[in-house]
Amino acid sequence: MGKEEIKFCSCCGLPFPKHDFGKNRQTPDGLAYYTKAHAAQKQKTFRVTHPEQVRDSRERYLNKLRERNSA
Ligand SMILES: [Zn+2]
């Protein structure tokens, strides 16, 4: 086993082993910006602080599904 590589979490700036990060094909290194735990925490916080936005995007998503099903 080699030395564990470290990446800095973008939400808190703290270093974590790379295996703590999820995958994200849109980032240069192929890893998510935040650790999995922090990403989940952020999502939870976002849902609490932006309930309307979450509902809106959910509705948009459902509408899209409905459109696709009726087409
Ligand atoms: Zn963080």
Whole-prediction pTM: 0.65
- Ion ligand 1, residue ranges at CB < 5 A: 9, 11-12, 38
Give the Cα separation of 11 and 1 in Å (integer): 29
16 contacts 6 by C-beta, under 8 angstroms: yes
Residue 71 is given by DSSP the state -
21 contacts 34 by C-beta, under 8 angstroms: yes
Residue 27 is given by DSSP the state S
Structure token digits, residue 11: 């939400």
Return the pLDDT at 3. 79
Give the Cα separation of 65 and 46 in Å (integer): 24
pLDDT digits (tens, 9 = 90+) for 11-64: 999 999 999 999 999 999 999 999 999 999 988 998 999 999 999 999 999 999
**What is the CA(37)–ligand 1 centre distance, in A?**
8
